[in-house]
Amino acid sequence: MPDVIATPAVALVDRLLRNARERGASDLHLDPGEDGMRVRIRRDGALHTLETLPAELSQHVVGRCKSLAELLVYRRDVPQEGRIGAERSGIGCELRVATYPTLFGERVALRLDAPDGSPCALAELGLEEPVAKAIHHAIEQPDGVVLLTGPSGSGKTTTLYSCLRHLVDHGPERTIVTVEDPVERRLDGVVQTEVDAAAGLDFTRALRSLLRQDPDVLLVGEIRDRETAAIALEAGLTGHLVASTLHAGSAAEVFARLLEMGVEPFVLTTTIRGVLAQRLLRRKCAAAGDITSDKTSCDDDCDLCQGSGYAGRQLVAEWLPMGPDLRQAVLDRGDGDALAKAAANSGFSTLRAAAERLVERGITDTREVERVLGTRRQN
């Protein structure tokens, strides 16, 4: 059977992948439209349009991506997900591929993994010293729950993997098991599981089975529902250390979300050691100097930032421990505002305060803080 992927598309996809890697992109997006396929990359969390491909090439480009990821090329009516290995990608890193049918053809999103897939050490994350010390203390305990929150692309997985690496490299030997969707990086010394809803292996079923495997540490990729929350928190209550993520706007709102899911307040106050909320802010380009509100001082051909005025990203985070005021607010089933007030009363330092300290140090600027955190609420 002849190859249905046109030869020009092979070279074109190779070029797009090389270009994305050379520009330091984390993602490559191929968006079909009536007039052609728009090619964009996500670099340091921001999207940039590179070019628009002729509409007649769109199907061949998508087909080549699906072929590399060993997806069903002939199925264009359903979403598909797959991987492209580092050797097969031709750019020295693994890619995750997701397709989605649209009005003008299939959209393709490719996530580029770092060439060195090993997680960085906790000390390399760039956290402020009080936050770093609090996380170290929390994950070195024999039991309890540590939760992370933040939007997609805020670095939660990197932080979790760094925590696991710390546990593998330091302290007593422990059995560490993960349940992820998907497994984003392979970790030596850690037993990793990827959920497969189609096969009936979801977070809940995987967790129930793993608790019979005598683990010491459990990483749960994400708490999405009451049942997963209940099992994860119960594990923290019965002698396991559990780390997971949960989507919420702030550290205090994590408790509001769990209360809304129906988790009993005493379970939260007994098991949760702390919540880390984090974001990633773009760093000012070292060649740009001061960045004004309307332009950058870098040329378009700047090797560091390609004219954006930013190069690299900086982690900014807030750590909320279970203090007396917060404990009482949770037991009282307080709403988000009440929980935030209780957190503030305990001397809790917010994400915005941490971000403003980065501005004062010249690492980022106000424009970037407002892009990521929004404008400050007016009283």
Q: What's the CATH code of the domain at 205?
A: 3.40.50.300
Most confidently modeled range among 264-268, 286-290, 301-305, 373-377: 264-268
Confidence of residue 158 (pLDDT cuts 50, 70, 90): very high
Residue 356, domain member (yes or no): yes
* Residues 111, 25: Cα–Cα separation, whole Å: 9
Which of 165-169, 184-188, 292-296, 323-327 is the least confident region? Answer: 292-296
> What single letter denotes the amino acid at residue 305?
C
**Eight-class DSSP state of 201:** B
Residues 223 and 194 in one domain: yes
Output the average pLDDT for the chain.
90
* Residue 73 in tokens: 């090329």
* Per-residue pLDDT tens digits for 329-346: 999 999 989 999 999 888
Residues 138 and 226 in one domain: yes
Contact call for residues 270 and 237 (beta carbons, < 8 A): yes
What is the spatial order of strands in the sheet that 27-33 belongs to? 46-53, 36-43, 27-33, 105-112, 95-102, 80-84
Which residues neighbour 194 within 8 Å (Cβ) at sequence distance 6 or greater? Answer: 180, 181, 182, 183
Residues 76 and 172 in one domain: no
Burial code of 137-170, b = ≥16 C-beta within 10 A, e = fewer? ebbeeebbbbbbbbeeebbbbbbbbbbbbbbbee
**Eight-class DSSP state of 333:** T
Confidence of residue 2 (pLDDT cuts 50, 70, 90): very low
Domain final residue, candidates 50, 81, 112: 112
Residues 19 and 158 in one domain: no
Q: What's the whole-number mean pLDDT along residues 65-90?
A: 94
> What is the span of the domain harbouring residue 358?
122-373
Look at residue 1 and tell me whether its pLDDT is greater than 60.
Answer: no
| Count of domains for the chain | 2
* Residues 353, 48: Cα–Cα separation, whole Å: 29
Most confidently modeled range among 67-71, 286-290, 297-301: 67-71
Q: CATH no. for residue 47?
A: 3.30.450.90
Residues 134 and 26 in one domain: no
Residue 1, domain member (yes or no): no
Residues 78 and 149 in one domain: no
Residue 339, domain member (yes or no): yes
* Residues 205, 181: Cα–Cα separation, whole Å: 14
pLDDT score at 234: 94
- Could you tell me how far CA 231 lies from the centroid of its own chain? 23
Residue 225, domain member (yes or no): yes
Domain final residue, candidates 72, 94, 112: 112
Residue 117, domain member (yes or no): no
Confidence of residue 295 (pLDDT cuts 50, 70, 90): very low
* Residues 244, 149: Cα–Cα separation, whole Å: 9
Residues 89 and 160 in one domain: no
* Per-residue pLDDT tens digits for 99-118: 999 999 999 999 998 765 56
pLDDT score at 378: 60
Q: Burial-class residue 333 by CB neighbours within 10 Å (0-12, 13-18, 19+).
A: middle
Residues 158 and 84 in one domain: no
Residue 378, domain member (yes or no): no
Residues 309 and 327 in one domain: yes
Residues 40 and 89 in one domain: yes
Confidence of residue 4 (pLDDT cuts 50, 70, 90): very low
* Residue 297 in tokens: 């001082």
* Residues 69, 288: Cα–Cα separation, whole Å: 39
Residues 35 and 97 in one domain: yes
Q: What's the whole-number mean pLDDT along residues 120-132?
A: 90
pLDDT score at 287: 80
Domain final residue, candidates 65, 90, 112: 112
Integer-rounded Cα radius of gyration of the chain: 22
What whole-number percentage of the chain has pLDDT above 70? 93
Residue 34, domain member (yes or no): yes
